[in-house]
A = this chain, B = another copy of it.
Amino acid sequence: MDIAKLSDKIVTGDRRALARAITLVESSRADHREQAAELIETLSRKTDAKAIRIGLSGTPGVGKSTFIESFGKMLTAKGLKVAVLAVDPSSARSGGSILGDKTRMELLSRDPNAFIRPSPSGSHLGGVARRSREAVALCEAAGFDVILIETVGVGQSETVVAEMSDLFVLLLAPAGGDELQGVKRGIMEIADIILVNKADGDLKPVAIRTCADYAGALRLLRKRAYDPQDFPKAMTVSALQQDGLEKAWGEMMALNDWRRENGHFDSRRAAQAQFWFEEEVKQALLAQLQTGTARDALARIGADVAEGRATPTKAAAQLLRELHGTPA
């Protein structure tokens, strides 16, 4: 594969080249991995594009597809190019990506200014995260203005998405006060904007109450010195009736502009790059255990442990001594 040519095409906004490049970064073949790293590096030197990366989390049932469809269409109507990526480490197991069914976003998927890509397969969050992060970089280089990175709220996936987003939006359904506890504190802490969806019809009063509950909960969190006083904030929207979406987008832009001006945008991206660098190093170190002598030693000494001839701690020290001459 000619990486220079591919990167040229991506920069001009060639969608087929972008799709091919994403397929490349999703491959686990060693030569593909090397080409992918080369491509990302080349593109990072070539462009200085800064899309707004919006992480979006919402459990099934909150109307996430409808929201992305309505929100995405509103953005493309403004002339913005919108990419939608998904991070879902469970998609491989459940036999289908959360975005696999593009009919869920029928209008958006046919929009020439939108690009929808399902979650890379793989049950290992680390691998899925790396591929998604590189896909974000590719979409950014391809000139997309807005990159929506969606995830279902399962396990650590929200944290992973927040680590590749400039803003994190939590989409919630109207609910009784008790269920407020269902949203973990950790998720509240990474949210910049909470959108209570389905503020329409019979659910509207419930949505307004739910929104007030969350606004109250957000006020209890520690303020962020780098953000305006009134953030993080909670708002109601109706994706179905396309209500409140303009306002939500306005708030996202306002927060993003503020952070760009005060330097938080850049320092956050820098910290994220460093975080992913360290993650890559850790993954690579652990991957070494699955090859050659390390794998053999792991199996051999592991059998001793399983049969009770060695304790886990002692055996681990022995393995490391064998691998690198590390003292026990």
With A280-B316, A281-B320, A285-B285 as known contacts, state yes or no: A41 contacts B302, CB within 8 Å: no
Tally of this chain's copies: 2
With A134-B313, A282-B286, A285-B285 as known contacts, state yes or no: A305 contacts B37, CB within 8 Å: no
Interface pair A281/B285, CB less than 8 Å apart: no
Interface pair B289/A286, CB less than 8 Å apart: no
CB of A38 to closest CB in B, whole Å = 8
Interface pair A311/B271, CB less than 8 Å apart: no
Interface pair A285/B284, CB less than 8 Å apart: no
Docked Cα-Cα span, A311 to B276, in Å, equals 9
Contacting residues, chain B, for A277 (C-beta < 8 A): 301-302, 305, 312, 315-316
Interface pair A37/B298, CB less than 8 Å apart: no
The majority secondary structure among interface residues of chain A is helix
With an 8 A cutoff between CB atoms, is A328 at the interface? yes
Contacting B at CB under 8 A, from A192-227, are: none
Docked Cα-Cα span, A280 to B316, in Å, equals 6
Docked Cα-Cα span, A271 to B303, in Å, equals 10
The residue from B44, B282, B305, B307 contacting A311, defined by CB atoms under 8 A apart? B44
> Residues 230-266 of chain A: 1 if any B CB is under 8 Å from the residue's CB, otherwise 0?
0000000000000000000000000000000000000
Contacting residues, chain B, for A271 (C-beta < 8 A): 306
Interface pair A314/B270, CB less than 8 Å apart: no
With an 8 A cutoff between CB atoms, is A106 at the interface? no
Chain B residue with the shortest CB-CB distance to A176:
B178
The residue from B40, B134, B302, B310 contacting A278, defined by CB atoms under 8 A apart? B302
